[in-house]
Amino acid sequence: MKNVKLPLVIFLYVITFVVSGCNSMIRNNTPAQFPQNGSETYTIAMSVNPNGTHLIPNSCSAHIVIDGETHRMDKNSDFEYSYNYARSAGQHRVNYYYEIDYKRKVNSSVREKSQRSKLYGLTIVNRYVIGFESNRGVPGSKGTLLGRSFERGDYVEIGGVPCETTFVSPNSLSFVVPILGHGNRHHARLVSDNGDIGLGFFHVDRVSFHSNLSSISLEPGEKQVFVVSINFDAPREGIEIDVTTNIPDSIIMKDIFIPAGARSTSVVIQGGIAGSGMLYLAAAGFEELKIPVEVISSNEGTNATIDDDVGDD
């Protein structure tokens, strides 16, 4: 006779049938989800189906294993068992399975048997989000998220950027609107170890730079202090400002960067060769700032020496 090799799919089906057959005596009567209650106690129930096993009456006992811990179940009737699970603080999901021990009569002998169920999951639904007090804001402004059962460590994310979030209470989170570019409407969500929750869209308005100079007029070699400010504290990563001009040979200055927590920064701008044009300041989430610039030659300025060490006060 030739050896017959079963296909893998058929083999797995046979194994599954055997395993499910072993567990067919145990029926889980517990829903997958429970709404939170004030006593924080939830009844997990199961029943045993003798299923023609010649089970000896009153010989069956049941245990439940919750997250690795074994507990004896109460017997409610001949084949009904339950266990009152007291939820641990902050725990929203548990995994569990059942074990039963029983005796069955086989011919004239009595045999002790045991069975184990498959693994089940139980989720306690006690968290929900009411929504933002306002789903619109400018970068640096504070927003509030209202809901239930927030925990320390939960945070708001807007446009894929984690917001600086403060736990106020289980019903309220405060967050700082981040600086975002590429459009004003951004997907928002609550990020939590207990599962993320979508928050819809949040509208982030663009903001403006401010400067101490509405226009700049210099002679070649002349210096001026140029201050750039914003209306909120710069985020942890600071704000790098992209500075461009259409008269690059007429303006000499260093890069502009507003450090974390600051609201302004200053650089020294120095005149180069004569010319007139514009200075452009841009950054993600900000309206572009345009400042007219002119460098005017004079008898003294024509012979002036341009200082290579621009930026030192």
pLDDT-flagged residues of the chain (< 50) = 1-23, 300-306, 308, 311-313
Asked whether the beta carbons of 87 and 41 are under 8 A apart, the reply is yes
Bridge partners, 46 (sequence order): 28, 81
Residue whose pair of structure tokens reads 């403006």 in the numeric block: 208
Q: What is the pLDDT of residue 55?
A: 82
Q: What is the pLDDT of residue 257?
A: 95
Bridge partners, 74 (sequence order): 82
Q: What is the pLDDT of residue 85?
A: 93
Nearest to 105 by CA among 62, 61, 52, 49: 52
Which three-class secondary structure state does DSSP give residue 253?
strand
Q: CA-to-CA distance for 276 and 209, rounded, in angstroms?
A: 22
Q: What is the pLDDT of residue 197?
A: 85
Asked whether the beta carbons of 231 and 288 are under 8 A apart, the reply is no
Q: What is the pLDDT of residue 8?
A: 42
Q: What's the distance, Cα to Cα, between the start and end of the chain in Å? A: 97
Q: Which residues contact 4 (CB under 8 A, 6 or more apart)?
A: none
Residue 223 half-sphere exposure toward CB, CA atoms < 13 A: 15
The amino acid at 307: D
How long, in residues, is the chain? 313
Q: What is the pLDDT of residue 14?
A: 40
Q: What is the pLDDT of residues 38-66, one digit of tens each?
A: 788 999 999 998 876 778 878 899 999 99
Q: CA-to-CA distance for 247 and 290, rounded, in angstroms?
A: 13
Q: Which residues contact 82 (CB under 8 A, 6 or more apart)?
A: 43, 44, 45, 46, 73, 74, 76
Structure tokens at 152: 């320390």
C-alpha distances (whole Å) from 63 to each of 66, 72, 102, 147, 276 are 10, 4, 12, 37, 86
Q: CA-to-CA distance for 39 and 87, rounded, in angstroms?
A: 9
Q: CA-to-CA distance for 159 and 178, rounded, in angstroms?
A: 9
Residue whose pair of structure tokens reads 């997990």 in the numeric block: 44
Q: Where are the alpha helices (DSSP H) in the chain?
A: 8-22, 299-302
